Structure 1
Amino acid sequence: MKTAILVDGGYYRKRSTSVFGKLTAKDRANELYSYCNRHLKDENYGSTTYNELYKIFYYDCPPINKQVFHPLFGKNKDFSKSETKQWTEDFFKELSKKRKVALRLGELNETTVHYNLKHSTTKKLMNKSKNLDELCENDFVLCLAQKGVDMKIGLDIASLAYKKQVDKIVLISGDSDFVPAAKLARTEGIDFVLDSLGSNIKDNLSLHIDGRKTCDKKYLKQTTI
């Protein structure tokens, strides 16, 4: 079966870092490429077959490239020279070198970038188990909003289905926003498989896929991020 593999990049990087820890940009790119290719192996009724890779589509946003005010320190934090920005750019470069990998980059809504208190920290402040003067940098999370990534995934699923370019689509994500696209692909006769990397998914997403498959048991041992 000719197979397209679509990767929600932000989701993959968060899950893989949570399960396997931090890696260099090159090692993470190699890890992702190897993982995707494991989806080409099918084992049914004691026999093993290998599907043909159509293409790996990787969806993500460029790293933040601006200064953001940090409420704890009372000053801006410059992300234009951050290690995270350099790592992300290197990661994209490494992926772009891989055979049959297409990068689909959206953009960040930089006007809405801000720091928020983590939910766990807010609870501690409210129940008075933590005081304001005890806050540290780890109590805050940077909030980023992507633009265009989900739309690109949905459009590519529709295009692959309508043009009959593939027999099977594997989507690596855990987002139920893709239910309409999954329904469309199945209507067009595409075998639609979801890999949530071990995380639990909503019931409405389970109803509109042909199956689930995760290619590494280590993900299954940690079902939440």
Structure 2
Amino acid sequence: MKTAILVDGSFYRRRAQSRLGEKTAEERAQELNKYCLRHLYHHGEIVSSLYRIFYYDCLPMDKKVYHPLLQQQIDFSQSELRTWMHAFIEQLKKKRKFAVRLGKLADEQAQFLLREDVTRKLCRRTLLLNQLKEQHFMLDVNQKGVDMKIGLDIASLAYKHQVDQIILISGDSDFVPAAKLARREGIDFILDPLYNPIKPDLFEHIDGLRTCDSRFNPKWPENKHPSFDDAST
């Protein structure tokens, strides 16, 4: 069986940071590479050959955005995240069989917004306006082109019959039309949500669900040795 692995980069980075902790760009790239390769094994035996790993993401913006609380422009061209991301992408490009697909951020629409839970507190008056702090705001900026690139690659892989199996590492439901197309072409379509909850009706559009590292499970004790082949397909 020949397998293509598609990674929603922003989703993976958020989950990995939350469950596996902060790491350098080189360490995170190595971690992602090793994790993807685990999908080729089942109970310690190789069950698939790797066609390619496709990684989809956007580089951080480099413009200034006005912060309403601080009443000043925040320059994102000097951010630590931007430096880290550039180094991370360069590390992935050096990995064998990695294909990096970069979209763009709709940074012309970027703005700072109050977090949803903060807005609720303000409405309930459990938080007052004069108590607002910088961490109560979040940067709202959308990706452009990432979902389209994922969908196009799934369609291309399916129509050209380049693989027998597609594994998508994502927590988004926007992949459903592409998954249905791939399944109609006879492709085995596996979703890896990294233990992120998914809607029950998504199961009818995939052939299996598998996460290869139990540390992504919120119920997994931090001091327990990880299991690398714990989820069923």
**2:35 aligned partner, one-letter code:** Y
How far apart, in 1, do the equivalents of 2:219 and 2:25 lie? 23
| Alignment match, 2:13 | 13
Shift of 1:203: 2.6
Shift of 1:100: 0.2
Q: Secondary structure at the match of 1:106?
A: strand
Q: Percent identity?
A: 55
For structure 1, the 5+ residue unaligned runs are none
Residues 1:103 and 2:100 aligned together: yes
Shift of 1:206: 1.5
For normalisation by structure 2, the TM-score amounts to 0.92
| Alignment match, 1:205 | 202
Shift of 1:222: 5.4
CA contact (8 A) 1:40 1:53 kept: yes
**More displaced, 123-132 or 2-11?**
123-132
How far apart, in 1, do the equivalents of 2:216 and 2:88 lie? 21
CA contact (8 A) 1:2 1:167 kept: yes
Shift of 1:133: 1.1
Residues 1:88 and 2:85 aligned together: yes
How far apart, in 1, do the equivalents of 2:145 and 2:201 lie? 23
How far apart, in 2, do the equivalents of 1:213 and 1:4 lie? 15
CA contact (8 A) 1:199 1:222 kept: no
How far apart, in 2, do the equivalents of 1:176 and 1:68 lie? 30
Shift of 1:221: 2.5
How far apart, in 2, do the equivalents of 1:220 and 1:206 lie? 19
Matched positions, count: 220
For normalisation by structure 1, the TM-score amounts to 0.95
List structure 1 segments (4+ residues) > 4 angstroms apart after TM superposition. none
**More displaced, 202-211 or 103-112?**
202-211
How far apart, in 1, do the equivalents of 2:201 and 2:66 lie? 39
Residues 1:113 and 2:110 aligned together: yes
How far apart, in 1, do the equivalents of 2:7 and 2:73 lie? 33
**1:121 aligned partner, one-letter code:** V
**2:124 aligned partner, one-letter code:** N
Q: Secondary structure at the match of 1:176?
A: coil
Q: Deviations over 1:79-136 (max 9, x none)?
A: 0111110001110001111000000001011111001101111111111111111111
| Alignment match, 1:63 | 60
Shift of 1:174: 1.2
**2:57 aligned partner, one-letter code:** D
Residues 1:35 and 2:40 aligned together: no
